[in-house]
Structures are given as C-alpha cells and as structure tokens.
Structure 1
Amino acid sequence: MTLFMPTCAEVVDLLTDYEEGALGPFHWLGLKLHLSLCPPCRAFLDSFHRTAPILRALWGNPAGPAAERALDGALAALREGRLPQGPQHHPEEEAWRALEPGGDPLTALLLRVHLGHCGTCRGIHGPGQALASGDHPLVALRPLLPPEDQWEWTRHGLGGAQVARLMKDPATGATLSLARMPGGRTMPVHGHRGPELSLVLSGALQDGPAHLRPGDWIAHGPDHQHGPTADQGSDCWTLIRLEGGVQFRGWRSLLGVVG
C-alpha cells in the first residue's frame, strides 16, 4: 500500500468492510481513489455486488423440518442459559511438551493457566502444575511475573486496546505480553512475524471463527492476519506468547514491528 492508495490485492481484502460501511476514512478514501483508476478492480466490485442475489436465487428451497427443529433447540438452549461450561479450545498436543524439564518457560506458563481453568486437561495431564483461576485474572500470575513498574505498556494506535510486554526469553527471543481490550472494541488487523499463542484470562473475544472464553487457547502461525473483537460488557484480558512481533496494516504500519 502506498501512502494514499491500496494495491489491487489489498482492495480485495477491504471490500467486505467497504460493503458493510466499516472502513475508516483513510482506507475508504484510498479505496475510492484506487477504484477510480483501476478498471479491473471496478469489474471485481461489480461481480462482488452480483454474487449475493445469485446465491439467494440458488438457495430457493426452505429449510427442512429437521433443520428447523435443530435451530429451535439451539435458540432455546441459549435463552435458558444452557451453555457449555469450561474451555472449548485446548492446546495442541505438541504444546504440552513445554511442561517437561527443559521445556519452553513462556508456553509452560500459558499451559499452567489453562490447566487452572480446564478440568478435562487436568484429568489428562495432571493437576500438579495448574494455576488456580481466581476472580481477578492476574491473582495467580503476579508471583510469577516481574514487578508492574517493569511492564512496558503500548497504548497508542491500538484501537483502545493496551498491551504490556512482561518478559522476554533470551534463549528463543519470544516475548510474553498481557493484552487488555475494552468490551466491544476490536484490535486493529495485524500480521504475525512468527508463531503466536494466546490464552484468555477473563472476558471473551471473537477471533475469526473462534469464540474464546476464560481458559481458552488459540495458536496462530507466521503470516496469519487477524483483528480480534472483545465481547460487549466487560474487558477481555489475554496472555500472549509471541515470536518476531506483529506488523499492523494501514497507517498503523508506521508503528513498525510491535512486540
């Protein structure tokens, strides 16, 4: 992306937000400028507009009785508060090696927090290293972290979110950070320079198709791009192990590599 205008590939990424009226003024102006100068992208946008009516025409048959009953049952469960309890997103099998002697200490810390929330994983891997989950997300973690006056907070340009780098592993270069997102706010879209492990401490967030609650774990590989959104109603706190930092898109790219 140039200072004022996105590339053709970036235009494709922006079209959904454009159609939903979710683009910021900088991206909206850049997209409009690009479309005024690029016939292929205008043709692509035209096909984008025609896709929804075509799909509606193809989806002509109403849902069958079985589908209607399944939907009614799911809605009734939501109304009655019959929601699954405990973490739904668990660490990958290879991640558990971090709890073995000589394992990665930052990954091990996330695993210990997960064990504090997850009875299923305690039954498999044992309760010995679990960190108790308390009312405040940092109660059990504080004795294992540096003093708060050593935390390196980043606030500007993060859409209302705050990120504090807590420690760095000299052996791997990986960092451990604490992120706080106000309820209803979205972390700006960013890409990863290396693998990222995230674990929700409190609150909840939507990260792509995954809805994450306290104790839930999610892993992202290098070059993955996302912009998680915290659920309405309360702040979402997450603990993040990161290698290589992140690079924001748009004007936030001026921040350079963060993390």
Structure 2
Amino acid sequence: MKPHHHPDITTLMAYSSGALSSAFSAVVSAHLSICRTCRDRLRETDAIGGQLLSQQEGLPLSAGAAERLMAKLHDEAPVAAREPHEPTAGHDPDLLPPPLWPYFGRSYRKLSWKWIGPGIHHIRAEGATEHHLMLLRVAPGRSLPMHTHGGSELTMILRGAYDDTLGHFAPGDIADLDGETEHQPVTAPGVPCICVAATDAPLRFSGWMARALQPFVRL
C-alpha cells in the first residue's frame, strides 16, 4: 500500500507541534502508520521545529533543554508514526490501523454500523474528542451528495476507493479539505468504501433533501 494523497504540510506541522485535536491526530496517525513518505516528512518537521525553538529570542535555554524537548516529542509520538510499518504475509486484513483502536476497536468484523441513508452507514468514535471522529461506509458505486465543508475535514480511505474532482482516492490516501472545497465523492464498484474522517464543523450540502436530513444524521 503506497498512498498517493497525503496530509498538507501545515497539517503535519500542527501534528508535530501538538496543535491538532485528538480527532484529527487520530486520522494523521493512521496515515503515518502506513506511509513512509509522511513519516520522513514528520521527522524533518520535528527537526525544523527544534531549530526554531533554539533560535527564539528571550530567556536562554538551559544546557540540553532543546535536546530534551525533542526527545520528549519523539517519545510521545505514536509508535506507529515512528516505526516503519510495512504489510507482511502475516498481516491480518481484519485489523484496523492501530491508532484507531482506542476509538473503534481492532476488528472490522466487530464494527456495529448505524444506517444513516441508502447504502451509507457510520460509527461515531468512542471516548471524548474535541471534534467529530467517525468511520463511514458507503456502498460501491454510490454517489454522495454534493457538499462543501463548514470548517476542516481530514479523511483517510481504509478500504475500497472513491473518485471526485480532486482525483482517485484508494486505501491509505488522505483528503485534507477546507471550507473552499466542493466535491461529490463517487465510490468505486466492487467493494464498499470505508474511511475514517475528522471534522470540526458540519458539512454544507447543496441539495435540499440532504440539508433536511442533516440534523438527524449529524454530518
């Protein structure tokens, strides 16, 4: 699995500095667990952050303070984000990415999906998060309503695929979207598309029916 769509560099910088909410951090961590390219970018971002910290004006840092801070950031980063993680012959396809386990459990088979529309199911994350975190499963060949975003949305494809004006998104790919993006994902034929998504504001649907149903499905 080699992703072709990645988080924006500003998203990685926010993740590196600890500025992302737990919901958005969970999606980034899931992507990092399978994307060597972004793990390398994260290490570069951490190094740049350490250099900026050491160059800040004000009270001088005590001897070794910058090194201790960088070591602390390294130790607190998710293990999956630090260690190379390549699928092996023994990889269990039933397992979700480890960073998602605290919110949804480990097994795809044990997920309890909730119907929210024809061919569309979702699961909201367990535990407290500052923003919404959910799994979304959409039947193959299904077109979602046209929509924009009231804020930011970070979505990672776990299974299946979809296409929209931004391209083809397959397992491991990240859609890093803001309020300026309007799109209508269409899932690929064959298998359902399952993704994990974090949002900090409700979606803005173009169609009247989707807008009418939005208070009930809370998307």
TM-score, normalised with respect to structure 1:
0.56
Aligned to 1:253: 211
Cα offset, 1:163, TM superposition: 2.0
Aligned to 1:143: 101
Aligned to 1:15: none
For residues 29 and 168 of structure 2, the distance between their equivalents in structure 1, rounded to whole angstroms, comes to: 21
Aligned to 2:115: 155
Aligned to 2:123: 164
Alignment length (residue pairs): 170
- Equivalent pairs: percent with the same residue? 25
On the 8 A contact 2:135/2:194 being kept in 1, the answer is yes
Q: CA deviation digits over 1:126-148, x for unaligned, max 9?
A: 58443956513626255311569
Cα offset, 1:90, TM superposition: 0.9
Which is bigger in relative contact order (C-alpha 8 A, separation at least 6)? 2
For residues 139 and 129 of structure 1, the distance between their equivalents in structure 2, rounded to whole angstroms, comes to: 9
Q: What letter corresponds to residue 101 of structure 2 in structure 1?
A: P
**2:161 pairs with one of 204, 210, 221:** 204
Once the two structures are superposed, the pairs formed by residues 1-259 of structure 1 within 5 Å of their partners are 86-96=2-12, 97-101=14-18, 103-125=20-42, 128-130=79-81, 135-136=93-94, 138=96, 140-141=98-99, 143-145=101-103, 155-157=115-117, 159-167=118-126, 172=130, 174-222=131-179, 224-248=181-205, 249-257=207-215, 258-259=218-219
For residues 196 and 178 of structure 2, the distance between their equivalents in structure 1, rounded to whole angstroms, comes to: 17
Higher normalized helix content (fraction of residues): 1
Structure 1 runs not aligned, ≥5 long: 1-84
* Structure having the higher Rg: 1
For residues 112 and 185 of structure 1, the distance between their equivalents in structure 2, rounded to whole angstroms, comes to: 28
User: RMSD over aligned Cα, in angstroms?
Assistant: 3.0
TM-score, normalised with respect to structure 2:
0.65
On the 8 A contact 1:247/1:256 being kept in 2, the answer is no
Closer, same or farther: CA 116–142 of 1 in aligned 2, 3 Å: closer
